[in-house]
Amino acid sequence: MLNEQEIKKIKEQITAQIKSWQVPEEQKQQAISQVESMNSEQLEQFLIQNKLIKSEQSEKTATQQTQENQCPFCLISENKIPSYKIDEDSKSIAILEINPLTKGHTIIIPKKHQDTEKIPSQAFTLAKKISKKLKSKLKADNVEINASSISGHGFINVMPFYKNQKPTQRKKAEESELKKLQEKLITKKREIKPKTKKSSKKPKKLEKAPVRVP
Ligand SMILES: [Zn+2]
């Protein structure tokens, strides 16, 4: 509910807006007096109807929606942003970090937008699988697995470490380097069919995953 002060302020703002309308003076005066005569409830309804404010509920959903729409990890897992995918299961995807700390730095992104504490255990299983691969294919001496989150989307860092290569700081990896690593690390298996219909606009495919008939 709006208090008296808020009502006064809002009415002033609306009146000022009305004054700038490109309509005959008579219409302006009519609109202004209409606004003046509104009580708080009517005013609130008026604001909601004119989308000047959102009702509490729609505001919440809208915020959540925006968050998920803009969440880079949601966009990646929905293939709306191209990525260097090396593995996938029903719950999460494994992609190469484009700003890696070390060579082969991979992140496991759960497909669901949920924070760190809700990362599915299956994602950790995938992380361990990738970790083994980093050791066998890239000869990593040690692999660190830790959970983190960005804009409320929990994910898992899988970071290989090498005795002869000290990690300094994250830096953008060369595209050609990422492609090479992807070819080395990708798990070639039957493609997982997406549950939802693919949008007509096909995302740029970065991986070549041939279908292997068992
Ligand atoms: Zn997300």
Decide if pLDDT at 38 tops 70.
yes
Q: What is the four-CA torsion angle of 159, 165, 169, 174, rounded to 10 degrees?
A: -80
Q: How far is the CA of 59 from the centre of ligand 1 (A)?
A: 19
Q: How far is the CA of 25 from the centre of ligand 1 (A)?
A: 50
pLDDT tens, position by position, 91-108: 999 999 999 999 999 999
Higher pLDDT pick, 158 / 80: 158
pLDDT tens, position by position, 113-155: 999 999 999 999 999 999 999 999 999 999 999 999 998 999 9
pLDDT bin (cut points 50, 70, 90) of residue 183 is very high
Report the predicted TM-score, pTM, of the whole model to 2 decimal places: 0.59
Sheet strand arrangement including 153-161? 85-88, 92-96, 106-110, 153-161, 142-150
Q: How far is the CA of 149 from the centre of ligand 1 (A)?
A: 9
d(CA 124, CA 196): 24
Decide if pLDDT at 214 tops 80.
no
Mean pLDDT of 67-91: 89
Q: How far is the CA of 143 from the centre of ligand 1 (A)?
A: 25
The answer to whether 185 touches 137, Cβ cutoff 8 Å, is yes
d(CA 122, CA 110): 9
Q: How far is the CA of 62 from the centre of ligand 1 (A)?
A: 15
Decide if pLDDT at 188 tops 80.
no
Q: How far is the CA of 74 from the centre of ligand 1 (A)?
A: 4
Q: How far is the CA of 115 from the centre of ligand 1 (A)?
A: 9
pLDDT bin (cut points 50, 70, 90) of residue 167 is confident
| Mean pLDDT of the chain, nearest integer | 84
The dihedral sign for the CA sequence 5, 6, 7, 13: positive
d(CA 18, CA 26): 11
